[in-house]
Amino acid sequence: MELFIGTLVGVFFTYWAMSFFYTKKGAQQVEKQSIILIEKIKSVCKLISVEGDFAEIYHYEDTKNHFLNIISSKKKAILLINAKAHVGFDLSQIKLEANNKTKEIVLTHFPEPTVLTVETDVKYYDKKDGLFNRFEASDLTELSKESKAFIVEKIPESGLLTTAKKEALDTVLMIEKLIETSGWNLNYSQLVLKDSEVEKLN
């Protein structure tokens, strides 16, 4: 009888120990999976949602005075700037929290759209040197920087940022599909996106 009771206790203890081990191991795997999911989403980093083409004319003039300001020398150029701007979201700035019990990723913050890249092609027309004020290689490099900054200043009034903001929900739904392929769910019920008016997603 004592042998039977001892065997029963041993079996029960073994079963309890194995259940505890596998439960703990399963919880660790779920937690690890949630971390991998969050890192996978953030690793996408910059996601382009809208692109726009620009063709702008930029007038450049530079006047320098010489000989006690008696003589002035002007150099000038007209720049034709063709540019492509990419606007989207920096996904490294999103805020995600994992609920390992429900296998749910909670999205609490989504970044505002931003200018990700601007590619410019600059052509010079009517480029004229001054007698004592000539274009140098450094001037052309600086003009390329100025032309890019000129395009960046034009982007807000172009409506690209507003268009990208409207694409935010599509981006969230894309993230949702990515998460669902791993057997998890995305909860964005607490997310608020700002547009012409504050809109809460359901």
Domain, as residue range, for 39:
31-200
Q: Domain total for the chain? A: 1
99 lies in some domain: yes
54 lies in some domain: yes
What is the residue-averaged pLDDT of the chain? Answer: 76
| 119-136 pLDDT per residue, tens | 999 888 888 887 777 878
Would the pLDDT of 4 be above 70?
no
7 lies in some domain: no
121 lies in some domain: yes
| 18-32 pLDDT per residue, tens | 444 344 444 456 556
3-state SS track over the chain? CHHHHHHHHHHHHHHHHHHHHHHHHHHHHHHHHHHHHHHHHHHCCEEEEEEEEEEEEEEEEEEEEECCCCEEEEEEEEEEEEEEEEEEEEHHHCEEEEECCCCEEEEEECCCCEEEEEEEEEEEEEEECCCCCCCCHHHHHHHHHHHHHHHHHHHHHHCHHHHHHHCHHHHHHHHHHHHHCCCCEEECCCCEEECCCEEECC
9 lies in some domain: no
In the prediction, which pLDDT does 7 show?
A: 44
In the prediction, which pLDDT does 52 show?
A: 92
pTM of this structure: 0.64
195 lies in some domain: yes
192 lies in some domain: yes
